[in-house]
Structure 1
Amino acid sequence: MRHAVSTCLLTLAMLWMAAPASGQSARSEDNRLRLDPGIDRRTTLSEREAIEGPEPPDRITIDGQVYSVGHNPDDLGRALYLSVARKNWADVRRFLPPYLALARHDPMLVAWARGGLARSDGRLAEAERQYRALLAIQPDFLPGQLELGRVLFENRKDREAHHLFRAIRDQLAGQGEQAAGVRRTVDTFLDALDRRGGWQGMIAAGPGYSSNLNQTSASQTCLLVGVDGTCLIDRTLPPAIASVGLNVEGSISRRIALKGQGGLLARAFVYGDTWPAHGDYNQATLSAQIGYDHQTARRSLTLSPTFDLSSFGNRVLSTAPGLRAEAMLTPSPSTALRLDVVRRVFNYRRSFDDLDGALTEASLTGWWSRPRGWTLFAGVEAGDKQAEKRANAYRHVGARLGVVHGFADWAELTLIGSVRQRDYAAYSELLDAVRHDREANLTAVLRLPTLRLAGLTPNILLQHNRVKSNVDWLYSFHRTAASIRLEHAF
């Protein structure tokens, strides 16, 4: 009997050792959500000036004076031109129909007005068609060239936009100081296009602390009691290991524009911790993808092979080739919605190969930007993990809620809370239960741009994780981690 109990305890010890390894990816989607939008936010901020464009001050000044508009080509044409120039689209809609009804109307002005209306309505394909019709009549019409370039830029036709703005820049090269303002506008677009096609990312590193490296419940249970009440065999899990180490995380991406709105997108994320005094608990995760990406001003679709690599205790823990599909919709400048579907096939090293199997996950996340630097986001997710032994297979569902707030230019705070329910597929004779886990994660990141020095921005990362399992003595734990890092964004 003692031998049977010892064998059982040895097997349970292996299960407990596997707990940190199998739980390593539980917060991966939170990390990806936190690292991924950082690239998107920096891109949006850098491009906003180019998309909106600097408006020449007092280009058309009416001074409140009401001018009568006669029903003739000169008056209607002048009123229509001034309305387009001032981006007064209500007046453009008012003057365009009577102007079109005239026997003699200027097709260039009509295309100019229709293109502006289409762009203001978000109908960028129609705007491009109108501006191209305008330039077919007068190819060297500079305002038309600039508006066409702006539409191409906004509608993610990066190659065509770069070619057009470069041609405009060459055309303006010999025009002296009078063209300086236009050159600055063109240079703004060219710089934004170069940034779009360049490497973007961040790397952050610094000292960190964890209160429970080994994710232990630190439970103690008596398994065999003697006739006198003495515990003959007990089951004791080790106490929590607290330690100081090094926390590192980063992201990098690049999109190479192809013809039209297509492109090749490469993206990678890495995060991990090293513990000099407890190297057996070092862990790191790398997630990389490269594939086809199609973007418009309001929609994007990415389909790419992926590869995930994770390490635990200075050895490779698992590899996971897979396929990821992402679809993003931006209904308005203040809202966005993204759907992610990914399937990965996990292959663990021999000690943990009973965890092998495919994991299929889907998540839906929405963002809502508010005035004064607030951004709210929320999402739901679901997944199905297969395994050779049904007791190791599971399904999970989860939800997350977060907020990002910028305090002028001196600080940015990100808060994320998430919960997940993991239900295993079958009864485990070893555990004498069908396992069910509930996990809660809280994350806070404070960035301090006001303290930036030599391109490095201090940030503070705080995380709290709590798992409650029906196999409480083995899988329940809580952990708090903190790190102070220096971040470099590029």
Structure 2
Amino acid sequence: MHRLIPCALVLLLAPTAALADDDDTRFLLNQMDRQQQSEERAYPTPAVADNPDLFTVNGTTYQVEQTLEALGPALYVAINLKQWHKVRQFVQRYRQLPDHDANLALLAEGMLARVDGDYAGAIAALETALAGKPEFVRARLELARIYFEDHQLNAARDAFERAQGSAGLPPQVLGMIDQYLAALDRRASWQGSLSLGLGYDTNLNQGNGDMRVSQVCYLPNWCQTVTRRMPEPLESSEWVYDLTAERRFNLSGHHNLLLRGIVYGSYPDKALEGSDSTDYFDENTSVLYAGYSYKSARNELNLLPTFEHFYSDRHTRYEAGGLRLEWKHQWSPPLQLNTYLQTRRYRFQGEDAVYFENYDEHRLGLSASYLLNPVTALYGGLDYTRKDFPTDAASSDAWMLNLGVYRQLMPGVNLNATALYRETRNDEANTLLGGLREDKQQIYMLNVDLPRWAIKGFVPVLSLKHTMNESSIDWAYGYERTEAALKLKKTF
């Protein structure tokens, strides 16, 4: 009987250590989002109320007469200078004139629709202008740019290439077209990052060294002293790495095939030798997403079957398959809203299948990011996770709140800080462990990128992560852990 209790504890405690760190997966997914947002966000010029008859160019104010000869050139100049408040005024006046150029008016109205975020209206206006005047190169160029911003990549490429073949284009326009075609090539290629470095972990095994002595009575006069001793924290230096990659294959319009992969892990220098086996604490998590993606200027909807593989202690621990639904909405130029639903089935492999129960996990998340200025962004969210095991004592509900800030401290120095707070509550008490498990966990993550000291495209990155877990069954689940690493990161 004395040996039975420690053995049962191993079966009950091990699932916590046998799972990958989903907070790292979330952090890498957020990193991919920020990388895309930094390339795609723009700042439209705000509307300004002023005299509709006056027009200021390079500090000089002109009176714009109500004539075709005055309003036509004024419209072009206002569009070129991106003075959208004047474009709005001038096109209204221009439409009132007899014999006005309807295609020029459509160009102006299409550009205004783009500024207002009405990409469907902008495309319709410019396509109508081109239908009336196929040789209208300016309208074709603006249509190509709007297709590009609206993530209709095949249509954008076709429009730019047709405009490129037009005769008489100045070198600066041809150069601009080449830049957009290069950007289209980039959007159609793999994008992501790769990092590798050295780190240090103060608690590889999530140990706390707790020792409890208690009396266990089997009969009124038959009691035994039982000592429960948890492992001491194991410190070690380690190799750390992560890889993120994503690629869209544009099918037509806004419709795409999306492939996304995330791989991260660590390889410590130390191992923990036991009486029957050795724990090496090496970890590798690989997550693959592949499915349908709808992407426009303001909305992204992804329906992605997912597969996760977790390798640890020199063998496969589990595999998990499921489905993830994501929606991202650009509410305004600085504000993006996100939500996701995810469900997975976890299946333990090999010898782990003997000790651990397969289970289902369901997740719901809501988050937002806000661009305060070109160098500062705030983000945060709320997540709910439900884990269903065959036994109620292992099943749980968890709520997690996260808040973060991304800031360029100075040119070439970027900071990304995240704080997470999670509460987890199991469905039923476990008498062997001493009651109902309720955990409160705090996690603080900090990444400092130093592109000003890049080495042949590899950027030094300092990362820190500190975890504190308090539990109602603190002797078994309470621990504190700090992870630090210096890595070199290559973005592609």
TM value normalised by structure 2:
0.89
From 255, 259, 281, give the equivalent of 2:252.
259
Return the offset for 1:284.
1.6
From 105, 113, 127, give the equivalent of 2:122.
127
From 444, 447, 466, give the equivalent of 1:445.
447
Partner of 1:366: 368
Report Cα offsets for 1:386-441 as digits up to 9, x if no partner: 01111111111110011111133321111111011111111223223121111111
Partner of 2:4: 7
Partner of 1:299: 299
Report Cα offsets for 1:22-78 as digits up to 9, x if no partner: 4x33xx1x32332223333333444569999xxxxxxx9845444444433333334
Task: Tell me the SS of whatever aligns to 1:391.
Answer: coil
* Greater fraction of residues in helix: 1
Residue 181, structure 1, aligned to residue 172, structure 2: yes
Q: Residues 31-50 of structure 1: matches in 2 within 5 Å? A: 31-46=24-39
Return the offset for 1:99.
2.6
Structure-1 separation of matches of 2:473 and 2:59: 76
Structure-2 separation of matches of 1:240 and 1:186: 59
Q: Is the contact between residue 50 and residue 188 of structure 1 (CA under 8 Å) also seen in structure 2?
A: no
Task: Tell me the SS of whatever aligns to 1:268.
Answer: strand
Judged with a 3 Å threshold, the aligned counterparts in structure 2 of structure 1 residues 252 and 158 are, in CA distance, closer, same or farther, namely same
From 445, 462, 469, give the equivalent of 1:460.
462
Structure-2 separation of matches of 1:304 and 1:298: 20
TM value normalised by structure 1:
0.90
Report Cα offsets for 1:240-269 as digits up to 9, x if no partner: 111111111111110111111110111011
Residue 170, structure 1, aligned to residue 165, structure 2: yes
Q: Is the contact between residue 354 and residue 392 of structure 1 (CA under 8 Å) also seen in structure 2?
A: no
Q: Residues 170-319 of structure 1: matches in 2 within 5 Å? A: 170-171=165-166, 175=168, 179-224=170-215, 232-278=225-271, 280-319=280-319
Partner of 1:477: 479
CA RMSD of aligned residues (A): 2.4
Structure-2 separation of matches of 1:334 and 1:316: 43
Report Cα offsets for 1:61-107 as digits up to 9, x if no partner: 84544444443333333433433333322223323333322332211
Residue 118, structure 1, aligned to residue 113, structure 2: yes
Question: Match of 1:369, as an amino acid?
Answer: L
Structure-2 separation of matches of 1:291 and 1:105: 49
Judged with a 3 Å threshold, the aligned counterparts in structure 2 of structure 1 residues 102 and 272 are, in CA distance, closer, same or farther, namely same
- Identify unmatched segments of 5+ residues in structure 2: 46-54, 218-223, 272-278
From 103, 106, 120, give the equivalent of 2:101.
106
Q: Is the contact between residue 247 and residue 259 of structure 2 (CA under 8 Å) also seen in structure 1?
A: yes
Question: Match of 2:102, as an amino acid?
Answer: P
Number of residue pairs matched by the alignment: 469
Q: Is the contact between residue 308 and residue 319 of structure 1 (CA under 8 Å) also seen in structure 2?
A: yes
Task: Tell me the SS of whatever aligns to 2:155.
Answer: helix
Partner of 1:488: 490
Judged with a 3 Å threshold, the aligned counterparts in structure 2 of structure 1 residues 47 and 181 are, in CA distance, closer, same or farther, namely farther
Report Cα offsets for 1:263-319 as digits up to 9, x if no partner: 011101111111232152111211110011001111110001000111221111111
Structure-2 separation of matches of 1:337 and 1:347: 33
* Greater fraction of residues in strand: 2
Q: Is the contact between residue 46 and residue 192 of structure 1 (CA under 8 Å) also seen in structure 2?
A: no
Structure-1 separation of matches of 2:257 and 2:239: 34
Partner of 2:77: 82
Partner of 1:321: 321
